[in-house]
Chain A
Amino acid sequence: MPAPAKEILPHPSDMDLQTLKKAISKSAGQKITLSKILCTSFQKLSYEKAKEIISLAQLDSNLKNSTTELSEHDLIKIVNICKKTKFQNPNTDHLSPIGQEILTIGMMSEYTIVSSKNIVEPLPSINNNDDNIANSQSKKIDNETDNEDIKDNNNTTISKSNFSVKILQPVLTAYTSRIGIINNRPTIIETGLAYGGDISSFKLYRFANKIPLLYDEGSDVAREVVSEVEINKMGITKKQAKEQFSTNKDSKRERIIEVLPIHIFFHICSTKIPYKTAGKESIASEGELKSYMKSCLSELYRKLSIQIRKELKIKEAENKMKLYKHYLPFIVEAITESLGIKNSKLNESFSLLIERHLTKKPNVNDVEEDNIVKHDKPSESKPKLSSLSQQDPKTEKKEKSNILSKSSKINNNNNRQIDVPKTTTNANQNIHKSKFTKTFSDLNNKKKERSNTIHKKNVGLKKYPKNNNNNNSSEKKLENTPTKQLMINKNDDKQKISSTDIQPTLDSFQNQRRVNKGKIR
């Protein structure tokens, strides 16, 4: 769980009449000068600067008991001056970014929602139901059955989770972030990149204040950024990329990046996300947001370039060996034929010579850079798969942080307990009942849920009983890890997104909202 946000004073460049009035009314009755009020109720605003602003507004800086004496007109003047004045950049304590560690964990795990049928009634003949499931997920279902076995053995009461977690083993993950001011509000842009290993195709993940954005990817600024940042920042040309990664050489995909096995993550954290539509599905390119994102992505590409170049070099060495293999017969034949002798020794010695020559060359040195996590290739041939209940040593760390955050959360709000498993079973049944014909309205409701968070906070949360709270810390993890990724099958993604997806994110979203509200008002 990322560090919680702290309350901060509003920034003067984002001042509006209401904020100002509120600040003044707070000190009503007290005998404080207006400049004092300004510098105590806004950040990055010194007493001197406040004085300057007031004198610019042609007001008496020593005015006391200001509310009565100041007209609305005067206040508007102050607000306007503040908007024009240059201040130090606001601090970002009130934002809670995901952070490298958690985002990296998120980048390495893939959550899949598996069809419910099997889970509601775990049968031994589970494979018969595979027809209902997208082929691509059959692997995960096998895994799911394993999970259930384990759960049954453990005699866990709430075992019917419909999540399958696949721990990915990317060759490389990289993280980078930027802090920028967009529309006068500080914004943290975090980007992550996972490359190679288990990752087989290109995918773009977008988050806004830890909420995954699932729809309308095409119009999102992240999509623009991905297609505008040149691939040669990775140290390879388009042609090389196509040659090395493209499985289908004839495919006429325009965006070359999509042939690379990369997952790209964007997280935009701000008190005001510049959504494109009221539906909050995609983010608009506002202000300098795009250039910040571009520079982030470029940096990631540059980090990746080391790995990619290394791979290219290895490939080149292989090619070299092949080249020798192919050309050697020609050379040997030419010599033996023109000399008119049969000498098998020549071939032998030549191969030996070449082998020695090739091995003599120095290997490429591994270079570790900041924010790059290189993952050793898995010792086991199969990728590790862990279920929610599985106690994997690798997830220990995660759990630890989750427990920590959980306890802090309990302190914050005792009522905020969420029973994930129950929701999931509900959702399962829903899916099961409607059999992939889940109506769109259902989805819309969920969206409403998101927007009406304040109401939902009480209504929605009380529904769930407390008792499951301490049951399973890894379930908690699910709820709290904001970087949870949803693997969505394109064909039926709408059905697949059950309330479980929304729930944990809803939680963090509320958290965020709560914090943000406190800061601004």
Chain B
Amino acid sequence: MSSAEKKTEVIHTIKKIMKKISEDVIIQRQMPILNIPKVGYDNTVWSDEKRMLTIGDKKIEVSPDSVKKIPTFAQYLVMANAIKKLLDEDMESTIRGMYYATLSNVGDEKNKQKFWNNQDNSDDAIKAVELLTGIPREVFSVTSKPKGMISGPIKLRVGGDIIDCNLGSRSTSQLIPTNIGDVQIEDVKADFVMVVEKDTVLNNIRKSGFIQKYNAILMTGSGEPDRATRMMVKILNESWKRPVVVFADADPWGLGIALRYKIGSESLSYDSDRLVTPDAQVLGMMFSDIYEYNIPEVARLTANDEDINRANDMKKKPWMKNKKWQKELNLFLNKKEKCELDAFFKHGFKYLAETYLPKKLREVGII
């Protein structure tokens, strides 16, 4: 389906929703109800078959019948209308742009308030429109600020132009465009894809000549990965059959980020099918690596209560039932020590790229 067709579909869907509401009000004389799948912790289900987090059956009803829901109802409709307008004008916008486009005051002089309290509200509304229409927001041309980076022997076609990410891959990386609908992968020459947690680590590895030496694609989501990064990883893994390995910090937070690629997240569980790469391998940094690679004590960090709670939580999750992971988590809970990938710099700036990573990759037979 071409992007233009997709856009007409979106407009059509939004119109259908609006029509339903007005019919409810004028003809049926009843409160209109928007049925939206519930997103969040309590409506996220682990699917053994798909090996990812998926959304459950719970729904929420948004209807202007209570004080709390009127603003929400109005917000959703206003956002849907704004998206329709955006598509009508054939424009693109970031989520922040949508926030400003729909910003206005509510109420009289006496108690004036803003239509959105902050951007989070408008982001939620965009999400709700996604859920209502069942169409991802990239199709709406609503995107977020790009933050994922890619470097290595891969050619992307963005619009009419080709971006060769191998050019200058010793000294720079390309941002992964967030309007992923307009991005096509032209050619992949690499043998495997390596995803790291932070861009600082990526820069270090890239500079060492890792890409050229092992013929790899380096990617990072700069912390929590955005949708475009996750989708890129998935496409490379499933359409281009390249193995994906993930390296993150050796703490529950870093592990969480690594798992975003592998199993998905609760807040985007409704879109897991597009975003999650179940075959990705989380290789490091393991808690046992802290001791195996003799990270000096000064470079280790003491785990705080939040870390401990997270680790305890994780231990119970079905996707962590693997003996290896249980062992790692137990080790962490015993030692209460965490460590960042950057700690390898203590052994020398090239240690990470030239010793640790190759050794890890060899263990799983990727190189």
Are A and B genuine complex partners? yes
Residues of chain A whose beta carbon lies under 8 Å from any beta carbon of chain B: 316, 319-320, 322-324, 326-327, 330-331, 333-335, 337-339, 343, 345-346, 349-350, 352-354, 357
Check A345/B26 contact, CB under 8 A, given A334-B77, A338-B15.
yes
- CB pair B65–A331 under 8 Å, yes or no, is no
B107 CB–A CB distance under 8 Å? yes
In the complex, A354 Cα to B31 Cα: how many Å? 8
Whose C-beta in chain A lies nearest to the C-beta of B107?
A: A326
A343: B residues at CB distance < 8 A: 22, 26
User: Is the beta-carbon distance between A338 and B64 smaller than 8 angstroms?
Assistant: no
**Are B31 and A353 interface neighbours, CB within 8 A?**
yes
A323 to B29, CA, bound (A): 20
Least CB distance from B65 to A in Å reads 6
Contact, CB under 8 Å: A331 / B77: yes
Known pairs A324-B70, A326-B106; A338 contacts B31 (CB<8 A): no
- Distance between Cα atoms of A326 and B106 in the complex (Å): 6
Closest to A352 in B: B29
Contact of B15 among A331, A333, A339 (CB under 8 A): A339
**Chain B CB within 10 A, most for which of A320, A324, A327, A357:** A327
CB distance from A103 to the nearest CB of B (A): 39
Interface flags for B145-182 (1: CB within 8 Å of A; 0: not) read 00000000000000000000000000000000000000
How far apart are the CA atoms of A333 and B74 in the complex, in Å?
10
Confirm or deny: B128 has a beta carbon within 8 angstroms of a beta carbon on chain A: no
B135 an interface residue at 8 Å Cβ cutoff?
no
Q: In whole angstroms, what is the CA distance A371 to B149 when docked?
A: 73
Separation of A92 and B84 alpha carbons in the complex (Å):
80
One of A324, A330, A357 near B78 (C-beta < 8 A) = A330
Q: Decide yes or no whether B71 CB sits under 8 A from chain A.
A: yes
Closest 6 CB pairs of A and B: A334-B77, A334-B81, A327-B74, A330-B74, A338-B81, A335-B18
Which one, A319, A339, A346, contacts B67 given CB within 8 A?
A: A319
SS of B interface (majority): helix
Contact A323-B77, Cβ < 8 Å, known A330-B106, A338-B18, A339-B18: no
Which residues of chain B from 5 to 31 have a CB within 8 Å of any chain A CB?
A: 14-15, 18-19, 21-22, 25-26, 29-31
B115 at interface, CB cutoff 8 A: yes
Extra pairs beyond A339-B15, A339-B19 (12, CB < 8 Å): A319-B67, A322-B107, A326-B108, A327-B106, A330-B115, A331-B78, A335-B77, A335-B81, A337-B81, A339-B18, A343-B26, A353-B25
B26 touches A349 (CB 8 A): yes
Q: Which residues of B contact A330 (CB under 8 A)?
A: 74, 77-78, 104, 106, 115
Residues of B contacting A337 in the complex (Cβ-Cβ under 8 angstroms): 81, 85
Using Cβ atoms and an 8 Å threshold, which residues of chain A touch B65?
357
In the complex, B80 has a CB within 8 A of chain A: yes
In the bound assembly, the distance between CA atoms of A327 and B114 in angstroms comes to 11
Measured CB to CB, the residues of B under 8 A from A are 14-15, 18-19, 21-22, 25-26, 29-31, 64-65, 67, 70-71, 73-74, 77-78, 80-81, 84-85, 104, 106-108, 115
| Cα–Cα, bound, A316→B70 (Å) | 14
Query: Given A326-B106, A327-B106, A338 and B84 touching (CB < 8 A)?
Result: yes
| Contacts A326-B106, A338-B84 given; does A357 touch B31 at CB 8 Å | yes
Chain B residue nearest to A330 (CB atoms) is: B74
24 A-B residue pairs with CB within 8 Å: A323-B70, A327-B74, A330-B78, A330-B104, A331-B73, A331-B74, A334-B77, A334-B81, A335-B18, A335-B77, A335-B81, A337-B81, A337-B85, A338-B14, A338-B15, A338-B18, A339-B15, A346-B22, A346-B25, A346-B26, A349-B25, A349-B26, A350-B25, A354-B64
Question: Closest chain B residue to A350 by CB distance?
Answer: B25
Chain A residue with minimal CB distance to B113?
Answer: A326
A-side contacts of B31, CB under 8 Å: 353, 357
Q: Is the interface of A mostly helix, strand, loop or mixed?
A: helix
Chain A residues in 8 Å Cβ range of B25: 346, 349-350, 353
Chain B min CB distance to A471 (Å)? 54
| Smallest beta-carbon distance A39→chain B, Å | 68
- Docked Cα-Cα span, A343 to B84, in Å, equals 19
A320 to B31, CA, bound (A): 16
Contacts of B73 in A (CB 8 A): 327, 331
- Chain A residues contacting B18 (CB-CB under 8 Å) are 334-335, 338-339
- Complex Cα gap A345–B22 (Å): 10
B228 to chain A, nearest CB (A): 28
Closest beta carbon of chain B to A327's beta carbon, Å: 4
Among A319, A324, A338, A343, chain B packs the most CB atoms within 10 A around the CB of: A338
Question: Of B29, B64, B70, B107, which contacts A349 at CB under 8 A?
Answer: B29
Residues of A within 8 Å of B85, CB to CB, are 337
Q: Interface centre among B18, B21, B22, B78, by most A CB within 10 Å?
A: B22
Chain B neighbourhood of A349, CB < 8 A: 25-26, 29
Q: Which B residues are CB-close (under 8 A) to A338?
A: 14-15, 18, 80-81, 84
A330 to B31, CA, bound (A): 16
Q: Once bound together, how far apart are the Cα atoms of A352 and B29, in whole Å?
A: 9
How far apart are the CA atoms of A353 and B65 in the complex, in Å? Answer: 10
Question: B22 contacts which chain A residues (CB < 8 A)?
Answer: 335, 339, 343, 346
A472 to chain B, nearest CB (A): 50
Q: In the docked arrangement, what's the CA distance between A354 and B65, Å? A: 8
The complex places the Cα of A339 from the Cα of B17 at a distance, in Å, of 10
Q: Please give me the residue from chain A that is nearest to B30 by CB atom.
A: A353
Contacts of A335 in B (CB 8 A): 18, 21-22, 77, 81
Task: List, in ascending order, chain A residues with CB within 8 A of B81's CB.
Answer: 333-335, 337-338
Given A334-B77, A338-B81, A338-B84: A323 touches B21 (CB 8 Å cut-off): no
Residues of B within 8 A of A339 (CB): 15, 18-19, 22
Is the beta-carbon distance between A323 and B80 smaller than 8 angstroms? no
Q: Which residues of B contact A324 (CB under 8 A)?
A: 64, 70
B residues in contact with A331, CB < 8 Å = 64, 73-74, 77-78
> CA–CA, A345 to B70, complex, Å?
20
- Closest B residue, CB atoms, query A343: B22
CB distance from B117 to the nearest CB of A (A): 14
Q: Kindly provide the distance from the CB of B238 to the nearest chain A CB, expressed in whole angstroms.
A: 36
Closest to B84 in A: A338
**A327→B64 CA distance, assembly (Å):** 10
A334 to B22, CA, bound (A): 11
Give the distance in Å from the alpha carbon of A232 to the alpha carbon of B22 in the complex: 44
Question: How far, in angstroms, from A323 to B65 measured CA to CA in the complex?
Answer: 11
B204 to chain A, nearest CB (A): 49
Residue with the highest number of chain B CB atoms closer than 10 Å, among A339, A345, A357: A339
Contact at B67–A316, with CB atoms within 8 Å? yes
Which residues on the B side are within 8 Å of A327 (C-beta)? 64, 70-71, 73-74, 106
> B29 touches which one: A334, A346, A353 (CB < 8 A)?
A353
Q: How far is the CA of A322 from the CA of B108 in the complex (A)?
A: 9
Q: Which residues of A contact B21 (CB under 8 A)?
A: 335
